[in-house]
C-alpha cells in the first residue's frame, strides 16, 4: 500500500522554564503573538494539518490561552506529559509518539522556544521528506544541526528505547554520515536560536529581520 506521508506536528511545551524564571515559553510574545501561536502557524504554513502540543508545567495556563486564540479549532490537540518534571524532553517526545504511532508516517519535532525559524526552512524539510520519506531530516546553520527535525515513523521505536539521560539526540546523531539522516544546509539562524533565558528573549525582541 502506498504511504500517504502523513505528518504530525509535535510541539514540545512541557518544560519547567527554569532559566526563564518559570514563565512558560509558550506564552512569551514576539511581534504580537505568543510563541505557541507562531509555531502552530509555521506548521500550518508547511501544510501540517494536525499539531499535538505536549504540556506539563503550567499546562492550564497554556490551554486557557490556546482556547482563547481558538487554536483547538485549527487541528491542535493537547497531550499532558505526566512525567514532565523527572522525564525531561525525551519523556515529552515519547508521550507524543505514543499518541500518534500507527496514525502518522512521520512527525515534525518542534520545541516551542524556536519562534524565529523561517517558513521556507519548514517547506524545505517537507520537500526533502517527499523525496526521502524513510529518513530523519534536520536543518543546519553554519554546519550545526538545529530544529525542527522531521522523523519518519521507522525510528519511533528507537527513540522510545533511547537512554533517558541522552534523549532522542542519541538516535538522531547516531545516523550522522549515513543515508538515514539527511541534513539540509540553510541560511536560517533561527534553527539554532532557542530562547532559554531572559537575555535570549531580549536578543530576539531586538531582531529586525
pLDDT of residue 69: 72
Does residue 12 surpass a pLDDT of 70? Answer: yes
Query: Which residues, 6+ apart, have CB-to-CB distance to 36 below 8 Å?
Result: 11, 13, 26, 27, 53, 62, 65, 66, 71, 112
At residue 207, the pLDDT reads 84
**Residue 4 scores a pLDDT above 60:** no
- Annotated domain spans of the chain: 7-205
Q: What is the pLDDT of residue 155?
A: 98
Domain 7-205 listed as CATH 3.40.50.720? no
CA-based angle 84:137:180, to the nearest 5?
A: 105
Q: Comparing C-alpha atoms, which of 137, 133, 105, 135 is closest to residue 121?
A: 137
Mean pLDDT confidence for 1-13: 78
User: Is the pLDDT at 1 greater than 50, yes or no?
Assistant: no
Query: What would the pLDDT profile of 120-149 be if each residue is shown by its tens digit?
Result: 999 999 999 999 999 999 999 999 999 999
What integer pLDDT is reported at residue 184 of this predicted model?
98
Check residue 72 and give its pLDDT.
65
pLDDT confidence of residue 75: 82
Average pLDDT of the chain, as a whole number: 93
What pLDDT is attached to residue 2? 38
Whole-number pLDDT of residue 180:
98
How are beta strands 106-111 and 149-152 bridged, if at all? antiparallel
CA distance 9 to 150: 9
What is residue 3's predicted lDDT score, i.e. its pLDDT?
A: 45
Report helix, strand or coil for 83: coil
Please report the pLDDT score of residue 66 as a whole number.
78
Residue 209 has what pLDDT?
Answer: 65
CB 115 within 8 A of CB 196: no
Amino acid at each position: 500500500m502506498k504511504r500517504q506521508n502523513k505528518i504530525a506536528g509535535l510541539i514540545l511545551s512541557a518544560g519547567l522554564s527554569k532559566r526563564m524564571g518559570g514563565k512558560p515559553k509558550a506564552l512569551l510574545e514576539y511581534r504580537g503573538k505568543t510563541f505557541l501561536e507562531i509555531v502552530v502557524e509555521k506548521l500550518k504554513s508547511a501544510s501540517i494539518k494536525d499539531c499535538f502540543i505536549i504540556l506539563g508545567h503550567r499546562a492550564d495556563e497554556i490551554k486557557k490561552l490556546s482556547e482563547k486564540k481558538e487554536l483547538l479549532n485549527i487541528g491542535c490537540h493537547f497531550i499532558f506529559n505526566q512525567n514532565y518534571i523527572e522525564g525531561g524532553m525525551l519523556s515529552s517526545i515519547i508521550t507524543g509518539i505514543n499518541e500518534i504511532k500507527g496514525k502518522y508516517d512521520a512527525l515534525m519535532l518542534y520545541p516551542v522556544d524556536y519562534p524565529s525559524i523561517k517558513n521556507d526552512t519548514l517547506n524545505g524539510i517537507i520537500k526533502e521528506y517527499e523525496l526521502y520519506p524513510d529518513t530523519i531530516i534536520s536543518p543546519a546553520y553554519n554546519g550545526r544541526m538545529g530544529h525542527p527535525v522531521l522523523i519518519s515513523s521507522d525510528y519511533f521505536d528507537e527513540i522510545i528505547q533511547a537512554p533517558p539521560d541522552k534523549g532522542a539526540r542519541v538516535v538522531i546523531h547516531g545516523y550522522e554520515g549515513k543515508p538515514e539522516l539527511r541534513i539540509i544546509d540553510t541560511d536560517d539562524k533561527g534553527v539554532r536560536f532557542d530562547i532559554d533565558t531572559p537575555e535570549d528573549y531580549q536578543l530576539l525582541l531586538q531582531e529586525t529581520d
